[in-house]
Amino acid sequence: MSIAEKKYRKKPLKPGVKADKLVTSTVITVRISDDEKMRIEKIMANLEIKRYSDVMRMALEMVKPTLQFG
């Protein structure tokens, strides 16, 4: 086994952790203007939200039912 293969092997699961309970996360970078950032910060202040990611999740949930592909 090469060094690269050893480096990227998955770590074994801890005892008692089931694979169906693991949640994977993905990092997404978004460029926004200063005006958009100020609007997001106002939303966060009004709704007492501390993380930008929570605002983005709410926005995606609001848009999801209207998306149509194909």
Q: What's the pLDDT score for residue 66?
A: 67
Residue 31 token pair: 């460029």
Q: How far apart are CA 41 and CA 17, in angstroms?
A: 37
Q: How far apart are CA 25 and CA 6, in angstroms?
A: 23
- pTM value? 0.54
Beta-carbon-side half-sphere exposure of residue 35 (alpha carbons within 13 Å): 0
Phi then psi for residue 27, to 5 deg, are -90, 130
Q: What's the pLDDT score for residue 61?
A: 87
Extract the residue ranges of the chain whose pLDDT is less than 70: 1-21, 66-70
Q: What's the pLDDT score for residue 64?
A: 78
Q: What's the pLDDT score for residue 44?
A: 94
Q: How far apart are CA 29 and CA 42, in angstroms?
A: 20
Strands (E) across the chain are located at none
